[in-house]
Amino acid sequence: MIRVALPFHLRNLARVDGEVELEIANPVTLRAVLDALETRYPVLRGTIRDHGTLKRRPFVRFFACKEDLSLEPSETPLPDEVVSGAEPFLIVGAMAGG
Amino acid sequence: MSKVRVLVGTKKGAFILTADGKRKDWKVSGPHFAGWEIYHVKGSAADPNRIYASQSSGWFGQIIQRSDDGGKTWNTPGSSPDELKSQGGMPKGESNKFVYAGEAGTHKWYDGSQHPWEFKRVWHLEPSPADPDTAYAGVEDAAIFKTTNGGKTWKELSGLRKAKGNLWQPGAGGMAVHTILLDPKNEKRIYVAISAGGCFRTDDSGKTWKPITRGLKSPYELPDPDAEVGHCVHRITLHPSRPDVLFMQKHWDVLRTDNAGEQWNEVSGNLPTDFGFPIDVNWNEPETIYVVPITSDSLHYPPEGKLRVYRSKTGGNEWEPLTKGLPQKDCYVNVLRDAMAVDQLDPCGIYFGTTGGQVYSSANGGNSWNAIVRDLPAVYSVEAQILP
C-alpha cells in the first residue's frame, strides 16, 4: 500500500481527506505512483504533470523520506519505506513567491 | 419576479451574488474554488443553470469547472463520480487539456525572435446561446478552443492563429484571447479580441479568420499606421439586436464600427481619458454604452482618484460621468476588461468589479450605484444572468 500525501488544493480537487492509498505492483516508481494516482482521480490529470509530455509542472515537487525526488527520472524506484507504506510519498506545491 | 445572478471571478475564488428583480438586497455565496484564480465564470443562455468556470493556479495549471444546478455544485466535466463508474466512453480527466492543433508553431517574442506557442490558462469562456454543451474558450497564449460535449474535451479552431499569428507579440499582461462575441443572428460569425494581437472575425464558424482593424491607430505601440495586427484591443462588445455594430475599448481610444469591423471610427469624444479596459452596452438601449476611464497605461487607476463610469447615450463621442454612489476621492482601483456586465431587465442593471474587491451595481442604467460587496479579492470578471 503506497501512501500519497497531496497538497491542500489537490486534495480539494480530488475530494479526499488526508492521505490517498494506492495499490501498485512492483516496481514502484515515480511514474507508477503518478499513473495510479491519475487513474484513481482523473481530475488530477494535468495538475501535477502536463498532459501529453507527462513532465512535472514547474512548481510541483516530489519528496519522500526527507529526499527531494523532483528531478529524478520517472522510472526511479521509490524508497523501500514508501513501498512498504511506512513513509508517505509527498506531492508538494513549491514555495514560489510571496 | 425575475431573479438576478451575478457571477464574479476573483484572484482567490468565485462568488455568486443573487437578488430579486429589484436588485437591492443581495445574497453572497462563496468563495467557490477558494484560493484559485478564477479568470471567468459564465452561464449558458440556453440553460441558465449550466455555468462554466475557468479555475487556474501557477502551481497546478488549468481546471475547467461546470455546474448544472446554477452554481450549487460543481464538477470537472468528464470526471464526476457518476461518469467514472463507466468504462470506456468519453475521455476522462481531459477537460483541462488544451493542446494546440497540429504543429503549435511560433509567435513574435519580446526580442523580435519567434517563440513557441505555450498554453497558460483560459481567460474567457463563452457558452453558445443555443446549446448548453457548446462553448468557446479564449486562452493564453492566444487561441480559441471549442467544446461540444459540455467541456469534457476541447478542440482548437486553429484558423485564428493563421491570421498572421506569427506577428502577434505579447504585451506586459500576456497574449490572450480575452473576448469572444458570438453573432446572435449569424451562427457562423464570431468576433475575438486579443491583447496586443488585435481584433479578428470569422464568417465560417472558425475555419478562417481575418483581422478587422482598419481605422485603429496605435502610434505609441505600432509605428506602422497600416498594421493589421498588433493593436492592443482591451475589449469589444455588441448589442444582440445589431451585431454589425461593435464598440471597442482599445489600449488608448474608444471606437465603434457599423459594418462588422470593416471600418472603425474613434468615438472617445469628451472622455477625460480614453484609456481603459471594459466597455458594455445597455440591454434596452443599443446606443447607450459604458466605459470606465483609467488615467493611463502607466497609472492603472481612475483620474484624480475618482471612480467614474462614463455613459454615452449617443453611441459615443458625447459622454457623461456617472458618480452617484461611487467613491469620489482617494480611489485607486482598476476595473479589468471582463469585469463589467449588464443584465436584461428594464431598467437595465449594470455591474462592475474592481481590483480592490468591490462589486458595484446600478439598477437604473447607471444613474446611481451601490456596492454589493466591498472586500472580495481583486475582481477579474463579472457576468450577469436573469433567472425566471
* Cis-peptide, bond into residue B347, ω within 30° of zero: yes
What integer is the mean pLDDT of B173-180?
A: 95
Q: Are B356 and B378 in contact (CB under 8 A)?
A: yes
Yes or no, beta carbons of A13 and B62 under 8 Å apart: no
Confirm whether A22 is domain-assigned: yes
What integer is the mean pLDDT of B29-40?
A: 97
Confirm whether A61 is domain-assigned: yes
> Distance from B340 to chain A by nearest Cα, in Å?
29
- pLDDT at residue A2 tops 90: yes
- pLDDT at residue B35 tops 70: yes
Confirm whether A98 is domain-assigned: no
Tally of domains in chain A = 1
- pLDDT at residue B184 tops 60: yes
Categorize the per-residue pLDDT at B385 as very low, low, confident or very high, splitting at 50, 70 and 90: very high
What percentage of residues in chain B have a pLDDT greater than 90? Answer: 90
Yes or no, beta carbons of B99 and A42 under 8 Å apart: no
Residue B315 has a CB neighbour count (10 Å cut-off) of 17
Grouping H, G, I as helix, E, B as strand and the rest as coil, residue B301 is coil
- What residue numbers bound the domain in which A42 lies? 2-93
For residue A59, the one-letter residue type is: F
- CATH number, position A68: 3.10.20.30
Contact status of B70 with chain A (Cβ, < 8 Å): no
Strand partners, B14: B9, B32
Whole-angstrom distance, CA of residue B83 vs CA of residue B77: 9
Tell me the average pLDDT of chain B: 95
Contact status of A92 with chain B (Cβ, < 8 Å): no
Confirm whether A86 is domain-assigned: yes
- ipTM (interface pTM): 0.94
pLDDT of residue B106: 95
- Interface probe for B, chosen from A47, A70, A95 (most Cβ of B below 10 Å), is A47
Confirm whether A49 is domain-assigned: yes
Q: Nearest Cα to B13, choosing from B55, B64, B69, B66?
A: B55
What integer is the mean pLDDT of B13-24?
A: 97
Contact status of A96 with chain B (Cβ, < 8 Å): yes
- Interface probe for A, chosen from B38, B60, B98 (most Cβ of A below 10 Å), is B60
Confirm whether A27 is domain-assigned: yes
Confirm whether A34 is domain-assigned: yes
User: How does DSSP classify residue B315?
Assistant: S
pLDDT of residue B76: 94
- pLDDT at residue B119 tops 90: yes
Identity of the residue in A9, A42, A52 whose CB atom sits nearest the CB atom of B60: A9
Q: B147: Cβ–Cβ under 8 A, 6 or more apart, which residues?
A: B77, B133, B134, B135, B136, B137, B153, B154, B155
Yes or no, beta carbons of A47 and B60 under 8 Å apart: yes
Q: Are B147 and B132 in contact (CB under 8 A)?
A: no
> Distance from A34 to chain B by nearest Cα, in Å?
14
Give me the half-sphere count of Cα atoms (radius 13 Å) on the Cβ side of residue A94.
15
pLDDT of residue A56: 96
pLDDT in tens, B204-256: 999 999 999 999 998 888 888 889 999 999 999 999 999 999 999 999 999 99
Contact status of A67 with chain B (Cβ, < 8 Å): no
Q: Are A31 and A45 in contact (CB under 8 A)?
A: no
pLDDT of residue B159: 97
Yes or no, beta carbons of A59 and B97 under 8 Å apart: no
pLDDT of residue B171: 85
pLDDT in tens, B289-312: 999 999 999 999 999 999 999 999
Contact status of B58 with chain A (Cβ, < 8 Å): yes
Yes or no, beta carbons of A59 and B58 under 8 Å apart: yes
C-alpha cell at B313: 447615450
Q: How many residues would you count in chain B? A: 388
What integer is the mean pLDDT of B26-35?
A: 97
Give the residue carrying C-alpha cell 481590483: B355
pLDDT of residue B85: 53
All residues of chain B having their beta carbon less than 8 Å from the beta carbon of residue A37 are none
